[in-house]
Chain A
Amino acid sequence: MNDIATYIIFFGLSTMAILSAIAIVTRRNLFHAAMFLGFLMLVVAGFYFLLDADLVGMMQVFVYVGGVIVVLLFGIMLTSQMTNVRMVSAMKQKGFTFLAVTGFVALLISVFTKVNLSVSTATAPKDTTSLVGKLFMTNYILPFEVMSVLLLAALIGAIVIARQEVKQ
């Protein structure tokens, strides 16, 4: 993979990511927005592959595109009259929000460009899957277990919250 191709891929992915993100935020139709979100997830997965993070990219596709998006689509369908809703909240904070967010992003970019990060030249390991598996079972065993408890709690909590009250 030569350099030019890499540049093209990066800019292509960046353009698609930003455009689809804008689309998600601006579309009135929630179904379309969910489709764009799925597309964005795939683009982000592309970024991961570009960054030699194979397993994370795969998980991105599985978990997000295969799981989260589906759940969100269920949510959209369960809450009808989702389309054609007002775009902007009643709060008169549009201008100020744009100003603050632009300032924030500019601040972040200026920090990223000004700060001199010590970039390592080492090559990435090719087989990240087994490495990640080993790390999960060794260094990250405690967060891993906590995460499993969290997922279980979220599962039960979501059911409890969303469950229809039994009418007496």
Chain B
Amino acid sequence: MLAYYLSLIVLVPILSFIILVIFGKRWGDKSAYVSIAAVLISLGLSIKALIDVLGGLNTKVLFTWASIGNFHITFGLLLDSLSAMMLVVVALVSALVQIFSIGYMHGDKRYGWFYACLSMFTASMLLLVFAPNYVQMYVAWEGVGVFSYLLIGFWFEKRSASQAAKKAFMVTRVGDLGFAIALILLYINAGTLDMDKLFAMHFVPALAATISILMFFGAIGKSAQFPLHVWLPDAMEGPTPVSALIHAATMVAAGVYLVARSYPLFEKGPVSLEFVAIIGTITAFMAATIALTATDIKKVLAYSTISQLGYMMMGLGVGAFAAGAFHLFTHAFFKALLFLGAGSVIHAVHSQEIFEMGGLWKKMKITSITFIIGGLALAGVPPFAGFWSKDEIILGAYTSGHTAIFWIGILTALFTAFYTFRLIFVVFFGQPRADHHGGHVHESPAVMSIPLLILGFFALTAGLLGSPFVHNAFQGFIAPGHEAEAVNPFVMGLSIAVALIGITAAWLKYGTQVLPSNVISKNNPIYKLVANKYYMDEFYYYVLIIPTHAVARFILEFDQKVIDGIVNGVAKIIAVFGSGMRRLQTGYVQNYALFMLVGLIILIIWSFRFLGIH
């Protein structure tokens, strides 16, 4: 019974995918209901699973998938507190995103295909969450990658969209290579890829650290950590609901989930956790600074996602495992909310440039209110969701003695508050900047605003689950061994203070005209560095792409000149031989007769000489 309903969580969206691939084109707009029904079933079953887990269930259902000699690849459903939590988050966000998409994608010509991809994307992520061994995790991991590729490049007629999809796929592939090497090393050294067995084994710390860091490369790719974060902003080319799904629950969460799931392995090689913390910190800080200068609403949110993922990694790295997982949980809600809100805004004004918006507060009340809730959660203002989890992480850094990481985390929190409210003040307040579409702006339909309200509710309340008021219930649930730190008034106060300072600064700069508009010159080298995203794309372009092209061109030349030359040479030799031999076939009967005579002479001589006929 248990196995049935757990497998249905994954199988129903897969079934929906199959149905929609076949009938999606014919059913058009109606295909949405198939996919939404499927994901709602998944959600219901996930909630049941979560309730079971809360009731003390902790189980693993295994099927043998393939047996090669002694190597059994099992396929299973691992249900524990972490996976149950993720199941609910993934299914809930996916359900809301899909409902939202009814309105957002209305009239798109590949509607059925869109929902098919969403179904399978969700199914892949659910499968990944369920994975009790690394083989299944890797398969699902790649499934997530493939469907993110398809969804980012959904509007593939746009060249930038297909380029972005390719970039996302290629960049995450770099990380996946590390993941694959880690799995190979694990199998060589441990002989198994089952998580239970691996976590129970004893590893040399250096080996464990090597494997963990390689595995973390996979997470760097998928969760867009420095230096492989470059794909995520470009992935904004996809439809906005897809961005919401990628950013909130599925794609980028996979990396964090991998680290969280493999946490016992990371702990065996503590160096790797330091590495995770440092990468997370760099990512969080860098992405926050870039977000300060971005002017595209989705890009700002994309960099904020990278920054928040950096926080999660930071939390996991400094040992605040529960805090990292908690931030993953809360972030899923408020980031999905922000993206869907952004989608609603884009849907209304048909632009992504924040300085073409403004004054939307008056026209889009629901969107504005929910967006501000999301913004407050992101900025880390109590009692909104983001505050509790972010505070936990910073507290973790503080108590574990990572002073530098702590201060950078605080600074990042300041930036986060600033850029979030810069966005809010520019988009929702002030005067409409571009008048030409001002008259048409109106609130989005109910299918779009209701998901916003639901997410708004969670963004407001989800954090309370892990707050000191309920004795950090969430952390106790997820990680019984990693109890939350006691409340530290200094850290909490600092955290609230920087959030408020950031909001105030944004208000002074963008909400009023108190601060002059040219506080920072556009020609300031630091500004230019940040505005150009630290020249990471350019760095990759010159360091990787140009040499790759050069090598490829060289290989092309080599192939065309040398390999083809050899092949053509062989063919030419045979052709020359053939055209030489062709002359024997003159077509003149007398010529043939002459050769018959020659052959006869040779036969006679041969028969006398060698056969001894006398």
User: Cβ of B601 and Cβ of A93 under 8 Å apart?
Assistant: no
Shortest beta-carbon distance, A105 to chain B, in Å?
10
Q: Does B605 contact A (CB under 8 A)?
A: yes
Q: Does B546 contact A (CB under 8 A)?
A: no
A89 vs B590: C-alpha distance when bound (angstroms):
9
Residues of chain A with a CB closer than 8 A to B586's CB: 91
User: Cβ of A107 and Cβ of B605 under 8 Å apart?
Assistant: yes
Instruction: List the interface of chain B (C-beta within 8 A of A).
Output: 586, 588, 590-591, 594, 597-598, 600-601, 604-605, 608, 614
Within 8 Å by CB of A91, from B588, B601, B605, lies B588
Within 8 Å by CB of B600, from A96, A97, A104, lies A104
User: Cβ of A89 and Cβ of B588 under 8 Å apart?
Assistant: yes
Q: Does A18 contact B (CB under 8 A)?
A: no
Given A107-B605, A115-B614: A93 and B594 interface contact (C-beta under 8 Å)? yes
Q: Does A103 contact B (CB under 8 A)?
A: yes
From B593, which residue of chain A is reached at the shortest CB distance? A97
From A116, which residue of chain B is reached at the shortest CB distance? B614
Within 8 A of B (CB), among A93-130: 93, 96-97, 100-101, 103-104, 107, 111, 115
A89 vs B593: C-alpha distance when bound (angstroms):
13
Shortest beta-carbon distance, A91 to chain B, in Å?
5
From B588, which residue of chain A is reached at the shortest CB distance? A91
From B586, which residue of chain A is reached at the shortest CB distance? A91
Can you give 18 A-B contacts (C-beta < 8 A)? A89-B588, A89-B590, A90-B588, A91-B588, A91-B590, A91-B591, A93-B590, A93-B591, A97-B594, A100-B594, A100-B601, A101-B597, A103-B601, A104-B597, A104-B601, A107-B601, A107-B605, A111-B604
Main secondary structure of the interface of A (DSSP, over half): helix
Residues of chain A with a CB closer than 8 A to B600's CB: 104
Instruction: List the interface of chain A (C-beta within 8 A of B).
Output: 89-91, 93, 96-97, 100-101, 103-104, 107, 111, 115
User: Cβ of A100 and Cβ of B598 under 8 Å apart?
Assistant: yes
Residues of chain A with a CB closer than 8 A to B601's CB: 100, 103-104, 107
User: Cβ of A107 and Cβ of B604 under 8 Å apart?
Assistant: yes
Besides A91-B591, A96-B594, A100-B598, 16 more A-B contacts (Cβ < 8 Å) are A89-B590, A90-B588, A91-B586, A91-B588, A91-B590, A93-B590, A93-B594, A97-B594, A100-B594, A100-B601, A103-B601, A104-B597, A104-B600, A107-B604, A111-B604, A111-B608
From B591, which residue of chain A is reached at the shortest CB distance? A91
Residues of chain A with a CB closer than 8 A to B605's CB: 107
Shortest beta-carbon distance, A126 to chain B, in Å?
36
Residues of chain B with a CB closer than 8 A to A100's CB: 594, 597-598, 601
Residues of chain A with a CB closer than 8 A to B604's CB: 107, 111
A111 vs B594: C-alpha distance when bound (angstroms):
21
Residues of chain B with a CB closer than 8 A to A89's CB: 588, 590
Shortest beta-carbon distance, B377 to chain A, in Å?
98
A97 vs B597: C-alpha distance when bound (angstroms):
9
Shortest beta-carbon distance, B240 to chain A, in Å?
80
Residues of chain B with a CB closer than 8 A to A93's CB: 590-591, 594
Shortest beta-carbon distance, B329 to chain A, in Å?
94
Residues of chain B with a CB closer than 8 A to A101's CB: 597
Shortest beta-carbon distance, A42 to chain B, in Å?
28
A101 vs B593: C-alpha distance when bound (angstroms):
12
Residues of chain B with a CB closer than 8 A to A96's CB: 594
A112 vs B594: C-alpha distance when bound (angstroms):
23
Shortest beta-carbon distance, A86 to chain B, in Å?
13
Shortest beta-carbon distance, B79 to chain A, in Å?
91
Shortest beta-carbon distance, A132 to chain B, in Å?
31
A111 vs B614: C-alpha distance when bound (angstroms):
9
From A99, which residue of chain B is reached at the shortest CB distance? B598
Shortest beta-carbon distance, B50 to chain A, in Å?
94
From A89, which residue of chain B is reached at the shortest CB distance? B590
A100 vs B596: C-alpha distance when bound (angstroms):
11
A90 vs B587: C-alpha distance when bound (angstroms):
12
Shortest beta-carbon distance, A70 to chain B, in Å?
26
From A90, which residue of chain B is reached at the shortest CB distance? B588
Shortest beta-carbon distance, A115 to chain B, in Å?
7
From B600, which residue of chain A is reached at the shortest CB distance? A104
Shortest beta-carbon distance, A89 to chain B, in Å?
6
Residues of chain A with a CB closer than 8 A to B608's CB: 111
A103 vs B594: C-alpha distance when bound (angstroms):
13
A115 vs B604: C-alpha distance when bound (angstroms):
14
Shortest beta-carbon distance, B213 to chain A, in Å?
80
From A103, which residue of chain B is reached at the shortest CB distance? B601
A100 vs B591: C-alpha distance when bound (angstroms):
12
Shortest beta-carbon distance, B477 to chain A, in Å?
100
A57 vs B190: C-alpha distance when bound (angstroms):
103
Residues of chain A with a CB closer than 8 A to B614's CB: 115
Residues of chain B with a CB closer than 8 A to A91's CB: 586, 588, 590-591
A107 vs B598: C-alpha distance when bound (angstroms):
12
A89 vs B589: C-alpha distance when bound (angstroms):
11
From A104, which residue of chain B is reached at the shortest CB distance? B601
A104 vs B600: C-alpha distance when bound (angstroms):
9
A107 vs B604: C-alpha distance when bound (angstroms):
8
A89 vs B586: C-alpha distance when bound (angstroms):
13
Shortest beta-carbon distance, A13 to chain B, in Å?
27
Residues of chain A with a CB closer than 8 A to B598's CB: 100
A97 vs B591: C-alpha distance when bound (angstroms):
9
A86 vs B94: C-alpha distance when bound (angstroms):
95
Shortest beta-carbon distance, B576 to chain A, in Å?
22
Residues of chain A with a CB closer than 8 A to B590's CB: 89, 91, 93
A107 vs B601: C-alpha distance when bound (angstroms):
8
Residues of chain B with a CB closer than 8 A to A104's CB: 597, 600-601
Residues of chain A with a CB closer than 8 A to B594's CB: 93, 96-97, 100
Residues of chain B with a CB closer than 8 A to A103's CB: 601
Shortest beta-carbon distance, B426 to chain A, in Å?
94
